[in-house]
Amino acid sequence: MDGIHDLGGMHGFGPVPIETGDYVFKAQWQRRAFALAELLGGPVPYSADQHRQEIERMPAADYLKLDYFEKWIVGAEALLLQAGLVSEEELRTGRKLFDVDVARHPKVDAENLVAIMRSGAQLNFPDDARRPRFTVGQTVRVTKDSPSGHTRAPRYLRGRTGQVVAGHGVFQFADAVAAGRGPEPQHCYTVAFTARELWGRDAEAADMIHADLWESYLEPA
Amino acid sequence: MDGIHDLGGMHGFGPVPIETGDYVFKAQWQRRAFALAELLGGPVPYSADQHRQEIERMPAADYLKLDYFEKWIVGAEALLLQAGLVSEEELRTGRKLFDVDVARHPKVDAENLVAIMRSGAQLNFPDDARRPRFTVGQTVRVTKDSPSGHTRAPRYLRGRTGQVVAGHGVFQFADAVAAGRGPEPQHCYTVAFTARELWGRDAEAADMIHADLWESYLEPA
Amino acid sequence: MPHDHDDHDHDHDPLEQGPSLRVRALEELMVAKGLIDPAALDRIVEYYERETGPRNGAKVVARAWLEPDFRDWLLRDGTAAIHAMGFTGYQGEHMRVVANTPKLHNVVVCTLCSCYPWPVLGLPPAWYKGAAYRSRVVREPRAVLKEFGLDIGTDIEIKVWDSTAEIRYMVLPLRPADTEAFTLEQLAGLVTRDGMIGTARL
Amino acid sequence: MPHDHDDHDHDHDPLEQGPSLRVRALEELMVAKGLIDPAALDRIVEYYERETGPRNGAKVVARAWLEPDFRDWLLRDGTAAIHAMGFTGYQGEHMRVVANTPKLHNVVVCTLCSCYPWPVLGLPPAWYKGAAYRSRVVREPRAVLKEFGLDIGTDIEIKVWDSTAEIRYMVLPLRPADTEAFTLEQLAGLVTRDGMIGTARL
């Protein structure tokens, strides 16, 4: 999705607000919002990619206006609606209008959740059966594909040529996970691009920009 | 400038508001704003490209939030400030704090302005001395240059390959006019791009997208 | 937007705020500085509302339907043919007219701002200047045109024209059927603004 | 955001509004539906504020400065080396550590959202998640770093790492001079969060 969230290379956002932005949480409600969005991933359930996709689907003006953690709540609310666990009216009024089947949407115990958070998610797959299409050192081009759903190929790399500098094995594919199609595991690579390849004669210097890209984002160049 | 104004291809703006958007002016102040921005181009003076550039320099959130004609006023105010004809405080209070040299910034008579508006501006140049670098039918690539100032090479065409379908002769160069460097006249061409070249496998159909591009935006492909 | 000067002859509506107040404040400041003549503002608006607009473009289209030689000229040198009809001026200095056919549909946009051929179409409607039209019509023209009630099958090619430089575009729509006996005035009466932008058929 | 239910035991501050009220309303609705345990919210926040954070990353960095074998392992297999120190968990499942040298400066970003290595750095600061940093650091890293007080000449190469997939990045900063006699704890005390993002030198 080529939405406003895909900020790489855009102008118009002024200097980095370092002085005023050097905090994680500024208000107590931000802590609650963060924890709520994390916690609801269990019973609803939803993945990080689905949650990101809902944030990306916000109107661009809202994306720029809302607080970061309010966006997390917007994303969680959208996923609750899609799962049929809340109604628009419930969200509007805060008053419960119907019960949900908690057996099918069991709440997550705090200690269990912390244990999972501490051990981490399972994002990669044994790669014995899949041979990587690209090798380290190979020149590749990011496809020009511009899907309307969640994708992790940023717009500033679309159609650009770089060099594979690392292969990471097989990972769940964010586009597929966000679309609800399951993991569709794929090889993932780090690709290095010259600043000149990305910004032409307006590149600041002879630097390198790296991104981690799934195999289906790439084609031989 | 790769700002939010460069909207081609972005997601996140919903359906076209045809029903509610089928008007030119909705309020009387919009008429005044339009005319004011047009009229001030005379005494300040400023060009359309400079005015566009100031609108493009707005914070992205404001660009999406403000009314179209309010943006025209924001642009005019920025140019008045740059010309030293108003102060921030005057703009804030609406109260005049100093006089300007009206001999150097003469106001434009209504009938004169309408006469100029009716005859049009002089945007092109005799092209006898300049040979076009590209010919109709030639395959060209839009450069990857990403200037931070005003430019008329939209981001969705950056680095993409198309075919020259028309040459239009020599025109003043918008980037130079906006930067205050004068016309720096250049050949200008219509270039046709396939939808597949721009959007990859997510192209809607086998369509063509055309843009008018100055010579320095292009390189042989 | 505080606005507390009292040396002018307008009474400010206490409910007037935001952009309206901002524009009025700037206008009065400019008058006070001697940079503009307020009567010129009315004259400019009057000029655009009275003398420009889609009725001009409709006359060009109707004439092209009636006169094959004019049609050829219009498509070959839109600037000269349109200027010859008296439709000159700002944002119409350089014109290109693109003709629809049964197998080809044209549609015009300005993704970067709101470039539009003022002398023949007037000032653009709000949707033409808005983010949705500008962002989407270069990427998914069929989906956009469908929102305008226009169903363009994939058997018909779409050409999108993004007005990125000084040339302004106008679509020459297909002449409606059963209009053989129509006069120029009758034909012009069939031509809509959206037909000349490419977001409607006639 | 109207919020008029009265079947709960919180008193709403009449001044509470906007996002704060929205979050509280959702929290209470989720509790009422039996989808969450409110105590779990506190526990999650406590976990991230207490057990994650840049002090973890600082220990990794200090150890790499002291133990060449660990440094090699860390740069070859960041995941294994960091997990071996007990720093595991969400957003740290797959780690890559990139080392600064006198001729190379690394800096980390997530242009698409706010990916960040939570177990070793904690949750990201506000600027890391904001539009200015995310839009600019891939295009003009030197200009951005200058705003952080870091002057990187063009004789030093910059490598920008955009966290677009599941790998999370951490910078191994250069060890400050005159620290030969420092203990691991003393060295770790020199390591800052921004040093491990790449927006500061130590």
Pick the closest to residue B9 from B202, B190, B163, B145 (CA basis). B202
C115 catalytically annotated: yes
Longest dimension (CA), chain A: 60
Of all residues in chain A, the percent with pLDDT exceeding 70 is 99
Please give the pLDDT value at position A130: 83
Using CB atoms within 10 A of its CB, is residue B36 exposed (0-12), middle (13-18) or buried (19+)?
buried
D135 catalytically annotated: no
In a domain, D166, yes or no: yes
Set of chain D residues whose Cβ sits within 8 Å of the Cβ of A96: 5, 29, 32-33
Please give the pLDDT value at position D178: 97
Topology agreement, domain B28-119 and domain B139-220: no
| Tens-digit pLDDT profile for residues A118-164 | 999 999 998 767 899 999 999 999 999 999 999 999 999 999 999 99
C20 catalytically annotated: no
Q: Nearest by CB to A94, which of D29, D134, D166?
A: D29
Could you give the angle at the alpha carbon of D175 between the alpha carbons of D169 and D176, nearest 5°? 130
Please give the pLDDT value at position B126: 84
Q: Does residue C7 have a pLDDT over 60?
A: no
Cβ distance B197 to A13 less than 8 Å, yes or no, reads no
Are the beta carbons of C117 and C54 closer than 8 angstroms?
Answer: no
Q: Nearest by CB to A18, which of D43, D92, D148?
A: D148
pLDDT higher for A19 or A17? A17
How many whole angstroms separate alpha carbon C86 and alpha carbon C84?
Answer: 5
A72-96 average pLDDT score? 97
In a domain, D143, yes or no: yes
**B155: closest chain A residue by CA:** A156
Domains in chain C: how many in total? 1
Specify the pairing of strand B186-194 against strand C104-109: unpaired
Report the 3 state secondary structure along D100-160. Answer: CECCEEEEEECCCCCCCCHHHHCCCCHHHHCHHHHHHCCCCHHHHHHHCCCCCCCCCEEEE
How many whole angstroms separate alpha carbon C78 and alpha carbon C161?
Answer: 15
Please give the pLDDT value at position C4: 41
Q: Does residue A21 have a pLDDT over 90?
A: no
Give the least confident one: A122-126, B166-170, C194-198. A122-126
In a domain, C167, yes or no: yes
Of all residues in chain C, the percent with pLDDT exceeding 90 is 91
C-beta atoms surrounding A202 within 10 Å:
19
Set of chain A residues whose Cβ sits within 8 Å of the Cβ of D158: 205, 207-208
Q: Does residue A88 have a pLDDT over 60?
A: yes
Residue-averaged pLDDT of chain D:
93
D72-78 average pLDDT score? 98
Specify the pairing of strand D104-109 against strand D167-172: unpaired
In a domain, D20, yes or no: no
D10-19 average pLDDT score? 61
Residue-averaged pLDDT of chain C:
93
The residue of A30, A151, A210, A213 whose CB has the most chain D CBs within 10 angstroms, and thus the best one to mutate to test that interface, is A210
Residue B27: pLDDT band (50, 70, 90) is very high
Q: Does residue D6 have a pLDDT over 80?
A: no
Alpha carbon of A50: minimum distance to chain B alpha carbons (Å): 17
Please give the pLDDT value at position D4: 41
D163 catalytically annotated: no
Please give the pLDDT value at position D16: 59
| Architecture of domain A139-220 in this structure | Roll (2.30)
Residue C1: pLDDT band (50, 70, 90) is very low
Please give the structure tokens belonging to residue B65.
């939030």
In a domain, C27, yes or no: no
C7-25 average pLDDT score? 69
Q: Does residue D12 have a pLDDT over 80?
A: no
Q: Where exactly are the structural domains of chain A?
A: 28-119, 139-220
Residue-averaged pLDDT of chain A:
95
Cβ distance B92 to C4 less than 8 Å, yes or no, reads no
Helix-strand-coil split of chain C, %, nearest 5: 45, 10, 45
Q: Is the peptide bond before C102 cis (omega within 30 degrees of 0)?
A: no
C76-87 average pLDDT score? 98
C174-192 average pLDDT score? 98
Which residues fall within 8 angstroms of residue B73, CB to CB, at 6 or more apart? B33, B36, B37, C19, C22, C23, C26
Please give the pLDDT value at position B22: 86
Is there an interface between A and B (3+ Cβ pairs < 8 A)? Answer: yes
Please give the pLDDT value at position B45: 97
Residue A19: pLDDT band (50, 70, 90) is confident
Residue-averaged pLDDT of chain B:
95
Distances (CA, A) of D167 to B69, D64, D79, D199: 46, 20, 9, 19
Q: Does residue D2 have a pLDDT over 80?
A: no
Q: Nearest by CB to B6, which of C48, C111, C143?
A: C111
Domain residues for C169?
52-197
Q: Nearest by CB to C44, which of B39, B192, B198?
A: B39
How many whole angstroms separate alpha carbon A87 and alpha carbon C20?
Answer: 39
- End-to-end Cα separation, chain C, in angstroms: 46
Q: Does residue A60 have a pLDDT over 80?
A: yes
Of the residues C20, C113, C135, C163, which is catalytic?
C113
Please give the pLDDT value at position B9: 97
Residue C16: pLDDT band (50, 70, 90) is low
Please give the structure tokens belonging to residue D139.
């295009």
Residue C5: pLDDT band (50, 70, 90) is very low
Residue C15: pLDDT band (50, 70, 90) is low
B162-175 average pLDDT score? 97
How many whole angstroms separate alpha carbon D77 and alpha carbon D31?
Answer: 42
Please give the pLDDT value at position B21: 80
Helix (H, G, I), strand (E, B) or coil at C162: strand
Are the beta carbons of B191 and B163 closer than 8 angstroms?
Answer: yes
Are the beta carbons of D194 and D106 closer than 8 angstroms?
Answer: no
Q: Which amino acid is at B98?
A: F
Cβ distance D131 to A7 less than 8 Å, yes or no, reads yes
Set of chain D residues whose Cβ sits within 8 Å of the Cβ of A23: 125-126
CATH code of the domain containing C109: 3.90.330.10
Please give the structure tokens belonging to residue A171.
């990972």
Fold of B28-119: Cyclin A; domain 1 (1.10.472)
Distances (CA, A) of D51 to A108, A109, B105, D44: 20, 18, 66, 10
B142-149 average pLDDT score? 97
| Tens-digit pLDDT profile for residues D19-36 | 999 999 999 999 999 999
Q: D113 — contact with chain A (CB < 8 Å)? A: yes
For residue B77, the cross-strand partners are none
Q: A143 — contact with chain B (CB < 8 Å)? A: yes
Residue D15: pLDDT band (50, 70, 90) is low
Please give the pLDDT value at position B128: 66
D67-83 average pLDDT score? 98
Per this entry, what is the length of chain B? 221
How many whole angstroms separate alpha carbon B63 and alpha carbon D181?
Answer: 56
Cβ distance B143 to A197 less than 8 Å, yes or no, reads no
Give the least confident one: B103-117, C31-45, D9-23. D9-23
The conformational region for residue A131 under phi > 0 = left, psi -120 to 50 = alpha, else beta, is beta
